[in-house]
Amino acid sequence: MAQFEFFYDLSSPWTYVAFNNVQPILKETGAEVTWRPFLVGGVFNAVNPAVYEARSQPMDPKIVHSYRWLHEWARLAELPLTFPTEHHPVKSVLAMRACCALENHQSNLKRFSQAAFDAYFARGENIDDPAVLSAIATSCGLDGDALIAETAEQAIKDQLRANTEEAIARGAYGSPTMLIDESLYFGNDQLPLVRAALLESKS
């Protein structure tokens, strides 16, 4: 079967929806996924700065409709969504470093990421707060304080930077960026295409 990679940033509301919606696709297709944390702000800075201009015009029709569609997608997926909150857009560097510290333990990374998505988007918590992230990790059966301490290590900082640069080099312009081998798919709305490609790769 093809290699399936899911590059993501915990601060992205569309990624919250896609992260949940991709789970039944993985179960149906039997595909194995590699969760790849990256820094979406680094991607925007490098290849998609128009995102920041759009955020400066919150009443632009495209933004207004996008937020409405986001809530409709969340309801369709039966996901609680508290968004936007006072913390949005959240600075996600610390959270994504925590993810990088878990990247070599994919089951732990998935569990932590799910819990962090829920904390930010379902409950409106501030995932830039080390105490919040530590509590999230502890709730997953991890050592929260040790995980936060690990985020200060240079190797983890370098890993996040390398993941982000790799995603950019492979064509990413936002989160989630999904790669099936080197075919790129972007966003929650392209998950039907992801499903079809994964099923085709099995045949």
CATH number of 4-202: 3.40.30.10
Q: How far apart are CA 201 and CA 198, in angstroms?
A: 5
Sorted by where each begins, the domain ranges of the chain are 4-202
Task: Please give the Cα distance from 197 to 202 (Å, whole number).
Answer: 9
d(CA 163, CA 101): 12
Query: Peptide bond before 130: cis, by omega within 30 degrees of 0?
Result: no
Q: What is the dihedral of CA 89, 95, 97, 98, to 10 degrees?
A: -170
Range with lowest mean pLDDT among 10-24, 45-59, 108-122, 125-139: 45-59
50 burial via Cβ count (<10 Å: 0-12, 13-18, 19+): exposed
Nearest by Cα to 103 from 6, 19, 190 = 6
DSSP 8-state code for residue 91: P
Q: What is the pTM of this model?
A: 0.94
**Can you tell me whether residue 183 is helix, strand or coil?**
strand
> What secondary structure letter does DSSP report for 120?
I
**74-123 confidence digits (pLDDT tens):** 999 999 999 999 999 999 999 999 999 999 999 999 999 999 999 999 99
Give the separation between CA 17 and CA 108, rounded to whole angstroms.
20
Amino acid, single-letter form, for residue 36:
R
pLDDT of 134 reads: 98
Q: Judge contact between 26 and 33, C-beta under 8 A.
A: yes
Residue 203: band (very low, low, confident or very high) from pLDDT cuts 50, 70, 90: confident
Looking at 48-62, 114-128, 140-154, which range is the least confident one? 48-62
Alpha helices in 77-178 (DSSP H): 93-101, 106-117, 130-139, 144-150, 154-169
Looking at residue 195, its amino acid is R
pLDDT of residue 84: 92
For the chain, the average pLDDT equals 94
> What is the pLDDT averaged over residues 30-42?
97
